[in-house]
Structure 1
């Protein structure tokens, strides 16, 4: 079958009721939003397509308001939803909580690898990623709402192979794949050279094609056959059924801010690192500085969204950014990771790999240091980032990263909510503390299992806040450091739901963390 060039409305008309539809993208990147917009418009107009089973690998928030998976927030449009992250899908939350459709979640790396398994007609994914977290069938089995529990559908099973436990995630066929590229030639070959990321465009297309489904690709530009260098072609025409030239309003490199393309993100331009602003001197910077003390020269690292992203900016300020190799689960390595909802991209990347490729390396233990966030921490060392405060954000790549890293630092403020915490004369001064306790007896959702980490016995695990540092030991959460100016009973133990183990070598956090000038750090070599 030759490739057909159609518009977004015609693409939406091709999707049949009750289809299984896979949508690619990463937050606001590689997002075929013209097609998603057309699907929403058709559903509002015709009540079709309806009862779709929708799959997306990473979070599809777009701008975090209207775009991405938010287009599908209509009763009747979906009958089932499988994803890894919903942090930028506010329109879907009410439907999920009202049990309008069963919602399931898998680790992002598992879903990325699932596209390969479907393409190869393998039975699914066998992995230890997700063990003893909410994904484990002995806990929640990845079921996010009551509708998922009532469905009696199982997306993961427990296996025993050669005396060792694994999780089995069964594969499923795809009817439609919706992906995004930069350019298509008139034969239908697809390049991604202007995208900030190269995720699983090929794998998702191959999965749909080998399932007997159709592949739709939105692009920003169409060129003559022969104008695309073969090294730039990510999806060959043989895997493509329909090409849609996106409207500039719903197409482009990203959906962030003014939407102006950033040449540095795709490697078309190098910017001086001096142009990247330093973090303001506050408690977030203190937390990032303390995390850096666990880094070594030559480390291959991953940083999560939020406070941990500041580690790259502090490394840059200290002139150390070139001494480590940063990476993002999107597949981008090197450079300085972009902040906020631009996470996934990096300024001056050294390589832009495919997402399933980077997760292979992560799952095999390739990360030396991971800096990740934490919404809740409990006495067992468990961490929750996936379900809290009435929201289901999902784990994204957190489970793959936190389970696979040799050293993992969970970084965040000690309490949550509005506070007034200052740094004065090298000491912490708590004027008004956050009203919400984050260190709980038991977390609401287990996204990182302290028990599983201790069972493996190969990880170093730290929990770093502005006023205290903990380590995971056989006694559970163990307090090892407190900030100068913080009172142990009033500011730490009094703001926890449990009493942690306290190290006999309890000490003050390094005072240099609390001074405004550069620390002039040197990274030691890996041991």
Structure 2
């Protein structure tokens, strides 16, 4: 039987050579093997080695809440290239994370690719396939006709290419072969078998391990504890010991950035929904409430970070918390996705899938709605969520956004109509815009395209934009205002706050007045029509 060594983080760092490609399994602070990454940084401080590493992160490693993640490696000489689905974001009031400083100072080659595609690139590498053909990312900044996913000017266009197959356009992403995979679990036995009982998701641990192992590389696993050989339930082993070369024990590893261990997000406990904190009355809550009115009982829906993450909590408040099954890219199915920088986990999930398998559902459009946030929208309905001029470090990157929007039947974007300091009050069931934000989010051309409105129209996708003051729909003739909030002046507060001409529906109506009152809506979700094959059976 293969021997798995138990090492300190500093000892594990000695296994890494100059010029290695290192793949890291994490999602911000969720599942982050922070102790191992810190060990690599410690070795470099002491010895100036290893040098010129490439790191691959399907989702971000580390965030702004104290889990340093990639910032342990963000040092000139140590890190030469990063390929990431997303990156740690940082508050705009402080210094950017070190990795963002390196990117913006052109000290590193940096790519931002869709998270689901990055997982598939690992699976391709594991199977000795050349790469991934996909339509995810076409007509966005990922497309070589635009930015090829590059995050600065010095980065070459050498990983993604445009190709044609059977009369259709595809993006081809070259498989990336890791020399080292760094993953995290809860328990390792003495043979290296890994279980994930306290993890909120296994993320992509298995596929990263396969990719390294099958190509002659090594796998380092960070765990909370060691168990006796043969004592783990084989049905619960997610990564077999035959793949694991070294184990680092970090008994204090956090379950997420803010929770040492919560059994309700890793499946050992179902907590009453009444224990969730209520959502305070705000403009963001109004926006989330309006989006919730688009849902039906029995649907499966996806959502992203930001305002959209409030929607499941609106349903809980309306006593409808179990009416919609939520799926998020980190792997949770069902339950109630949590908020803010614990986003990526769900309380009371029905299932926890590996991320790559969740992305199979999402890329294939196997759900009814996706609810996502936005930063900018332009005249063609394009959306930018990944790139703010002069403040890129406060954004995370594309993440799973492009995977999700590529085939989602219905997409509801949520956000504020304007940005910057503003004074908008909710008074007597009406909006009172005392002073508006100085920056519109409806611009002639987005800074960078994360979502293509024209491709969505060509694909027959239904696209809606929900703000605190207006609801808009994407149509072939352009963006059309279909609803406005009570108290809002259409010309001054909506049409006059966009950089381009908005169309106005002939059936323009007021948003539901109940949205602007603190009391619950009394929301009723219509039932989802049965699948057409079930209708045939019933008939």
Distance 1:65 1:498, change over 3 A: farther
Partner of 2:290: 290
Write the distance in 2 (CA, Å) between the matches of 1:464 and 1:202.
38
Q: Is the CA contact 2:32–2:62 (under 8 Å) kept in the aligned structure 1?
A: no
Partner of 2:536: none
CA RMSD of aligned residues (A): 1.2
Partner of 1:269: 269
TM-score, structure 2 length as denominator? 0.94
Q: Equivalent residue of 2:473, what SS?
A: strand
Shift of 1:114: 1.4
Shift of 1:65: 4.6
Partner of 2:197: 193
TM-score, structure 1 length as denominator? 0.96
Give the ranges of 4+ consecutive aligned residues of structure 1 lying more than 4 Å apart after TM superposition. Answer: none
Write the distance in 2 (CA, Å) between the matches of 1:260 and 1:243.
21
Write the distance in 2 (CA, Å) between the matches of 1:508 and 1:467.
10
Q: Is the CA contact 2:378–2:446 (under 8 Å) kept in the aligned structure 1?
A: yes
Shift of 1:12: 0.6
1:425-444 correspondence runs (5 A): 425-444=428-447
Partner of 1:359: 359
Shift of 1:501: 1.6
Among candidates 467, 483, 498, match of residue 469 of structure 2: 467
1:326-405 correspondence runs (5 A): 326-390=326-390, 391=392, 393-405=396-408
Gaps of 5+ in 1: none
Q: Equivalent residue of 1:387, what SS?
A: coil
Write the distance in 1 (CA, Å) between the matches of 2:433 and 2:15.
59
Partner of 2:532: none
Between the two proteins, the alignment pairs up a number of residues equal to 519
1:101 partnered with 2:108:
yes
Shift of 1:498: 0.8
Q: Is the CA contact 2:473–2:480 (under 8 Å) kept in the aligned structure 1?
A: yes
Write the distance in 2 (CA, Å) between the matches of 1:20 and 1:161.
30
Partner of 1:126: 133
Partner of 1:516: 518
Partner of 2:98: 91
Shift of 1:88: 2.7
Write the distance in 2 (CA, Å) between the matches of 1:116 and 1:100.
30
Shift of 1:231: 1.1
Write the distance in 1 (CA, Å) between the matches of 2:200 and 2:219.
22
Partner of 1:158: 162
1:7-406 correspondence runs (5 A): 7-65=8-66, 67-88=68-89, 90-148=97-155, 151=156, 153-248=157-252, 251-256=253-258, 259-390=259-390, 391=392, 393-406=396-409
Shift of 1:62: 4.1
Q: Is the CA contact 1:369–1:406 (under 8 Å) kept in the aligned structure 2?
A: yes
Write the distance in 1 (CA, Å) between the matches of 2:270 and 2:421.
38
Write the distance in 2 (CA, Å) between the matches of 1:87 and 1:279.
26
Write the distance in 2 (CA, Å) between the matches of 1:75 and 1:488.
52
Q: Is the CA contact 1:56–1:83 (under 8 Å) kept in the aligned structure 2?
A: yes
Shift of 1:263: 1.1
Shift of 1:341: 1.0
Shift of 1:63: 4.7
Partner of 2:537: none
Among candidates 494, 500, 503, match of residue 502 of structure 2: 500
Deviations 1:426-468 (A, max 9, x none): 11111221222111000001001001101112x1100000001
Deviations 1:389-428 (A, max 9, x none): 3205311001111222111110011111222211111111
Write the distance in 1 (CA, Å) between the matches of 2:339 and 2:405.
20
Q: Is the CA contact 2:65–2:257 (under 8 Å) kept in the aligned structure 1?
A: no
Deviations 1:268-303 (A, max 9, x none): 111110111221111111100110111111111111
1:454 partnered with 2:461:
no
Write the distance in 2 (CA, Å) between the matches of 1:352 and 1:190.
16
Shift of 1:237: 0.8
1:418 partnered with 2:421:
yes
Write the distance in 2 (CA, Å) between the matches of 1:16 and 1:119.
21
